Amino acid sequence: MNYHPDIDFLLKYSSGQLEPALSVAIGVHLQDCESCREKVSQLEDVGGQTLESVAEESVSDEFFNKLLADVEELPIEQNISPFEECAVAEMDRPFVQQLSERNYENLQWEKVTKNISKATVAMNDPRFQMELLKFAPRAKIPKHTHSGSEYTLVLEGDFSDKDGTYRTGEFIVNDSSVEHQPLAGDEGCVCLAITDAPLKFTGTFGPIINWWVN
């Protein structure tokens, strides 16, 4: 794997500061990438050290008694999903699991062009929009730039542009300065795309596709 999230992403993820949509993408990448997983566990260690180092606030005895009364009834859970470790909100974790398992069943796919389908994911993240994009083998993705940044996680297959080839599990960031015209690989490609503003298509069929996408 050649394209990984930047250290800034991993830091924000590990410390719980990453926006919900991006946390989902990083959470899925981590399932596929041992080296980033290792880095995140090192950064979480820094979190543990930070927790140990803060000045203490007094806590009353009553609080502990109340807690004991509460846990008295509670069983110790034996089967805990590995996805509970993700720095992702509980409500978003099933989606991390679903994408990690490459299960697209309950998504509503719509055709954008003959070779491209998309499914919008309602994440309720005010800053980002999230979509799954499915490209047929060798599909040309219309030339576009981004008014903001675009974050892509390759879920299946691969695609390439003039700068390289991006394979399953890889995480790529494009900012507004990049105008590119990616090409899906021989097996086609499924990507998770997160944008902080809608894509702007600039090719010949740009306006029509923009209309469709929006």
Instruction: Tell me which residues touch other proteins (CB under 8 A).
Output: 1-4, 6-8, 11-12, 14-17, 19-20, 23, 35, 39, 41-61, 63-64, 66-68, 70-71, 74-78, 80, 84-85, 87-92, 124, 126, 149, 163-164, 172-175, 178
**Contact in structure between 10 and 39 (CB atoms under 8 Å):** yes
The nearer residue to other proteins, 80 or 122, going by C-beta atoms, is 80
Query: Least distance in Å: CB of 165 to other proteins?
Result: 12
**Contact in structure between 152 and 192 (CB atoms under 8 Å):** yes
Query: Least distance in Å: CB of 164 to other proteins?
Result: 8
Query: Least distance in Å: CB of 114 to other proteins?
Result: 28
3-state secondary structure of 192: strand
Query: Least distance in Å: CB of 167 to other proteins?
Result: 12
Which residues, other chains included, contact 131 with Cβ-Cβ below 8 Å and sequence gap of 6+? 118, 119, 120, 121, 192, 193, 194, 195
Alpha-carbon distance of 130 to 87, in angstroms, equals: 18
The nearer residue to other proteins, 15 or 113, going by C-beta atoms, is 15
The nearer residue to other proteins, 59 or 122, going by C-beta atoms, is 59
How many angstroms separate the Cα of 205 from the Cα of each of 100, 130, 208?
34, 23, 6
